[in-house]
Amino acid sequence: MTKKTSAPKILLINGPNLNMLGKRSKEHYGSFTLAQVQSAFSTKAAALGVEPIFFQSNGEGEIVTAIHEAMQYAAGIVINAGAYTHYSYAIFDALLLCGLPVMEVHISNIHKREPFRSVSVIRPACVGQIYGLGLESYLVGLEKLVREHILVKDPSRTAQQADAASKEHLAELRAKISEVDTELMKVFNRRMDLAEAIAVSKMHTRTNVYDARREAEVSDLAKQQAGEEMASRVEALMKTMMRISREKQYDLLMRGDTNWSIGRELSAAGTSLDFVNRVAYGGTIGSYSEQAAAKLFPEAEKYSTFSFAEACDRVLSGAADVAVLPVENTTAGSVDTVYELLQKKSLYIVRATSIDVRHKLAVLPGTRLSDIRRVASHAQGLSQCSEMIYKSGWEPVTVENTAFAAEQVATGKDPQLAAISSEEAALRNGLEILPIEIRNESQNRTRFVAVTREPVITPSADRISTLMHLPHRSGALVSALEVFADRGLNLSSILSRPIPDTPGEYAFFLDFICPAMGQEALLSLYQLSMEMPYVKVLGWYQEE
Ligand code: CA2
C-alpha cells in the first residue's frame, strides 16, 4: 500500500484474481494489466484533485482490514471486490461500518453473465455501481465518486486549475448536449413538416386543428414508451410539442380564413381619435376621472356623469364620443364596477393613462381633526386611506365619487363629516384641507382607460386588452398564456372575474404588450379564438 499526503485520498481496492489481469480471460477482462488500471486511475485522480492509494489482495480478511484502515486516512473507496462481490458479507459489513462513500466497479457486465454474478451483496453499502466498461469502469467510478460525494479542497491545485477543470468538464457535457440537440432538431423539423401537411388536409376537410382525443392518445403512447419514471416529463414535452404544431397549423389557416370575426373587426377598426369632441367621466368637476379625461383629451368638452355606468351609457347612446373610467389603483387594486362594465357592455378601450392620486382630507372651514367622526369618499378612496380611517376610529361613508364626497360635506354642513377627495374638488366646494398625509402609500396611482362604441387602433397602439372565458379544465389558463408566450408577447396584466350565471367559471382579462396589428398577436388571437369558448378584443391602444 502507498500513502501520500495533501489531497483527499481515494483507496482503490482490487479483490481476488485481479492481480492476474491481462494474463487470461481476455474476452471478459480485456488485455490490460492491473498496473495499467492503476496508472490510468492515477492520471484521472490527479485531474480530479484527489490522491489514489492502491491495494490488492486475494484474501477476504486482508480486504476487510484494508477497509478498516482506510477509515483513518481515506475520503472514499473504489472497490472491485472480484468474486467476493457475490457472497462476502464480511466485506459488505466492513464497507458499511467504515462510513466512507464507496463506489463499486466491475470490468465486465456482471448483469449479462452467469446469474450468480448479477448478485452483489456489497451493493447496498455503495453509492453506485459501474460495470461493463472495461478499464473505464474504474475511471468513471472514480469520477462519479469524487464529483458527487467528495469535497475536493486541494491546496496544491490553484483555484484557477480547479476552475479550468470543471469548466472543461462542463464544456464536454455541453458538447454532448449540443449533439443531442442537433438530432432533436432534425426529428422536430420532421414533425413540423408533418403538422404542416395535416394543416393543409384539415383546410380541405374543414376539421378542427385542436383534437383533444387525438392529443391524449399521442401523449399516452409517448408515456408508455417512456416508462413510469419519465411519464410526467414526457407528457409535458408532448403537450408543448403538440401546442407548437397547432401554432404552425394556425399560421397557415389564418392566412386563408376570411371568416374570422375578430380579424374582420380589427381590420375594420378606425385608426384615429380625431372624432373625440365629447368626453364623459364619472363624478363631478375635480374628480380624478376628470383629471384623467383632461390629460387624455385636453381639447375635448368634458361631461360629468353620476356613475361610471352612466358614462358608458352616454357613449353607447351617442351622447358622448368617449368615456374615461378608472380601472386599477396601485394601493386598492382593480375597480370592480368598471371591469363589470367592460365585461357586459360593448365598448372598446382606445387609450389608457395613469395619474398620481393625492388624496386630501377636506372639511368645513374651521373644523379640527378631533371634530371628525365620519369620512366620505368613493370605495377606492376609502380603501387607499384605510389605515388613517381605522387609526382615527372614523366611520367610512361610501359615495359614488370622491368629488361627490366633497360636495356632500359642503352641502351637509355637518362638521363631523370630512371628505377624502382631490385638492381641486375640496377647494371648488369651499372646503378646507387639513394638513395631514391621509394615503396609506406614498405612491398612489390610478390607471384610467378611455372607451368608445367602435374599435379604434391608432398606429401608436402598443397594448392589447383581451377578455376570455376559459374551458373548465386543468391547465386551461396556462395553455392560453403559453400561446402568447410562444410568440414572444409579454403579459402586462391579468385579472379574473366570475362569469355571471355560470358559477365556478371565470372570465380573464389579459393584457399584452404588442405593436398595433402585430402579426404575432393576431396569430395568438386566432389560435385562442379557435380553442377557447369566448375571446373578445377589448382594445388595442396606446398606454401613456
Ligand atoms: O468484472 C469484474 O470486474 C469482476 O469483478 C471480476 C471478477 C469476477 O469474479 C466478478 O464476477 C466480476 C473476477 C476477476 C478475475 O480476474 C481474472 C483476471 C485474469 C484472468 C482470469 C481472471
User: Does residue 20 have its Cβ closer than 6 Å to ligand 1?
Assistant: yes
User: Does residue 130 have its Cβ closer than 6 Å to ligand 1?
Assistant: no
25 C-alpha to ligand 1 centroid (Å): 8
59 C-alpha to ligand 1 centroid (Å): 14
Q: How many helices (H) and strands (E) does the chain have?
A: 18, 20
Could you list the active site residues? 29, 106
Query: What is the distance between the alpha carbons of residues 60 and 67, in angstroms, rounded to a whole number?
Result: 11
List the residue whose alpha carbon is closest to atom 15 of ligand 1: 17
- The answer to whether 325 and 341 are in contact (CB under 8 A) is yes
pLDDT at 2 over 50: no
Question: What is the pLDDT averaged over residues 371-377?
Answer: 97
Looking at mean pLDDT, say which of 155-159, 213-217, 350-354 comes out highest: 350-354
Instruction: Pick from 107, 129, 138 the residue to mutate for probing ligand 1's pocket: most ligand atoms within 8 Å of its CB.
Output: 107
- The answer to whether 358 and 444 are in contact (CB under 8 A) is yes
* Class of residue 393 by CB neighbours under 10 A (exposed 0-12, middle 13-18, buried 19+): exposed
Query: What is the distance between the alpha carbons of residues 490 and 502, in angstroms, rounded to a whole number?
Result: 30
pLDDT at 1 over 50: no
Element of type H or E holding 388: helix 386-392
Question: What is the pLDDT averaged over residues 254-269?
Answer: 91
List the residue whose alpha carbon is closest to atom 13 of ligand 1: 82
Looking at mean pLDDT, say which of 12-16, 166-170, 280-284 comes out highest: 12-16
Enumerate residues 6+ apart whose C-beta is below 8 A from 348.
Answer: 451, 452, 453, 454, 455, 456, 537, 538, 539
User: Does residue 107 have its Cβ closer than 6 Å to ligand 1?
Assistant: yes
User: Does residue 141 have its Cβ closer than 6 Å to ligand 1?
Assistant: no
Return the closest-CA partner of residue 533 out of 482, 486, 480, 459.
480
- The answer to whether 99 and 126 are in contact (CB under 8 A) is no
* Number of Cβ within a 10 Å radius of residue 504: 7
140 C-alpha to ligand 1 centroid (Å): 18
- The answer to whether 316 and 453 are in contact (CB under 8 A) is yes
pLDDT band at 3 (very low <50, low <70, confident <90, very high): very low
122 C-alpha to ligand 1 centroid (Å): 16
Please tell me the predicted confidence (pLDDT) of residue 388.
95
Q: Measure the CA angle with vertex 505, ends 504 and 509; round to 5°.
A: 135
Question: What is the pLDDT averaged over residues 184-199?
Answer: 92
pLDDT at 5 over 70: no
- The answer to whether 499 and 507 are in contact (CB under 8 A) is yes
Q: Which atom of ligand 1 is nearest to the CA of 108?
A: 1
User: Does residue 83 have its Cβ closer than 6 Å to ligand 1?
Assistant: yes
Instruction: Pick from 14, 19, 25 the residue to mutate for probing ligand 1's pocket: most ligand atoms within 8 Å of its CB.
Output: 25
User: Does residue 21 have its Cβ closer than 6 Å to ligand 1?
Assistant: yes
Backbone angles phi, psi at 271, to 5 degrees: -125, 0
Q: Which atom of ligand 1 is nearest to the CA of 19?
A: 18
Determine if residue 206 is left, alpha or beta; phi over 0 gives left, psi from -120 to 50 gives alpha, anything else beta: left
pLDDT at 159 over 70: no
Please tell me the predicted confidence (pLDDT) of residue 229.
76
List the residue whose alpha carbon is closest to atom 6 of ligand 1: 82
Task: For residue range 442-482, list pLDDT tens digits in order.
Answer: 888 999 999 999 999 999 999 999 999 988 877 889 989 99
User: Does residue 17 have its Cβ closer than 6 Å to ligand 1?
Assistant: yes
Element of type H or E holding 399: none
List the residue whose alpha carbon is closest to atom 20 of ligand 1: 24
Least confident of 23-32, 79-88, 304-313, 427-436: 23-32
User: Does residue 29 have its Cβ closer than 6 Å to ligand 1?
Assistant: yes
List the residue whose alpha carbon is closest to atom 5 of ligand 1: 82
Question: What is the pLDDT averaged over residues 497-519?
Answer: 90
Report the chain's mean pLDDT, rounded to a whole number.
Answer: 92
User: Does residue 512 have its Cβ closer than 6 Å to ligand 1?
Assistant: no
